[in-house]
Amino acid sequence: GIQVEQSPPDLILQEGANSTLRCNFSDSVNNLQWFHQNPWGQLINLFYIPSGTKQNGRLSATTVATERYSLLYISSSQTTDSGVYFCAVDSPYSGGGADGLTFGKGTHLIIQP
C-alpha cells in the first residue's frame, strides 16, 4: 500500500517562530488532508489539499502532487498550536477494497512561551 512519511517527528519552537512540516507519499493520491490532533484526541481538519496551495489565517499548505509531497506552514506560532499534526492520503491504489485514509506517524509540535 501507499507509504506516508512525515518530518520532522518532533519540533520544539518558541512562541512567534515559523515552522514547516513535510509529508512525503509514495504514490499518486486523490485526497490529502492535514489534521491537528488536540490534547483530548480529536482530529481537527486543517486542509483538504490534494494539489495546489491554500491558506487559512496563520496556516497555509502546499501540495505538489507530481513530486509527491505536501508542506504545512505555521507562522507566528502560538502555544495553542501545540499538538500532533497528521498528514493523511487516500490513494486510488488502496487495494483490498479499503478506501479509508492512510496516515503518517505525525509531527509532535511543542510551542514554548
Partner 1 sequence: DVKVTQSSRYLVKRTGEKVFLECVQDMDHENMFWYRQDPGLGLRLIYFSYDVKMKEKGDIPEGYSVSREKKERFSLILESASTNQTSMYLCASTIRDFHNEQFFGPGTRLTVL
Residues contributing to the site for partner 1 (CB under 8 A) = 30-31, 33, 35, 40-43, 45, 48, 50, 86, 88, 90, 92, 96-101, 103-106
Q: Which among 91, 36, 44, 86 has a CA at the least distance from the CA of 65?
A: 91
Q: Which among 29, 38, 21 has a CA at the least distance from the CA of 3?
A: 29
Q: Cβ 31 to partner 1, closest distance in Å?
A: 5
Q: Cβ 14 to partner 1, closest distance in Å?
A: 27
Backbone region of residue 78 per phi and psi (left: phi > 0; alpha: psi in -120 to 50; beta: other values): beta
Q: Residue 16 or 92: which CB sits closer to partner 1?
A: 92
Q: Cβ 16 to partner 1, closest distance in Å?
A: 30
Q: Residue 6 or 77: which CB sits closer to partner 1?
A: 6
Q: Cβ 74 to partner 1, closest distance in Å?
A: 20
Query: CA 3, 4, 6 angle in degrees (round to 5)?
Result: 150
Q: Residue 77 or 85: which CB sits closer to partner 1?
A: 85
- What's the burial of 98, exposed, middle or buried (CB within 10 Å: 0-12/13-18/19+)? exposed
Q: Residue 77 or 89: which CB sits closer to partner 1?
A: 89
